[in-house]
Chains A and B, each alone.
Chain A
Amino acid sequence: EIVLTQSPGTLSLSPGERATLSCRASQSFDSINLAWLQQRPGQAPRLLISGASNRATGIPDRFSGSGSGTDFTLTISSLEPEDFALYYCQHYGSSPPLYTFGQGTRLQIK
């Protein structure tokens, strides 16, 4: 089972700033199997990015994903107030089928 480690645990930034969130895997895998989710307080998570870099429907272009192998990054180019939330990276493994999540990065207002 692949273990995902997200850093930092908490990121304190101001609106308008750039956010860079990291997700590191315990072993290399195909980037098609990496996704990013956002969870606002009191809400269900929502899909931001699939396949490491493909924005989901309706996701603003200030969100971008990159990376390969064991190191993946979610970047928010200019923070809006609604972006302060929890972010999870997620891996899909096919042998056997298993979805695993990082422990999350909390993005909070500075």
Chain B
Amino acid sequence: EADIYQTPRYLVIGTGKKITLECSQTMGHDKMYWYQQDPGMELHLIHYSYGVNSTEKGDLSSESTVSRIRTEHFPLTLESARPSHTSQYLCASSEGLAGVTDTQYFGPGTRLTVL
């Protein structure tokens, strides 16, 4: 059973607020990811990390930022939320060593609504 947690599960905030979405995993995985899932279900990789002090931008440009100070923790921050940021955000992790056969484990997601 994969152990990857996201908080909060639901968040409704006003425009201009700073928010941090939390993601933690207890599997000791090196690689972690953030995806944005639009209402049409399509998934877009916005950030990933190979390990501590490593962060990379994904395929979809995002105004959010991430940090990786501890192996188990990979928070995502929006400095000033806008309605266009309304979406579901999914965090995932993987061993990162299996390369082409790597299996990703997903958290339950945070559904963000910006008014």
The yes or no verdict on A and B being binding partners is: no
A residues adjacent to B (C-beta < 8 A): none
B residues adjacent to A (C-beta < 8 A): none
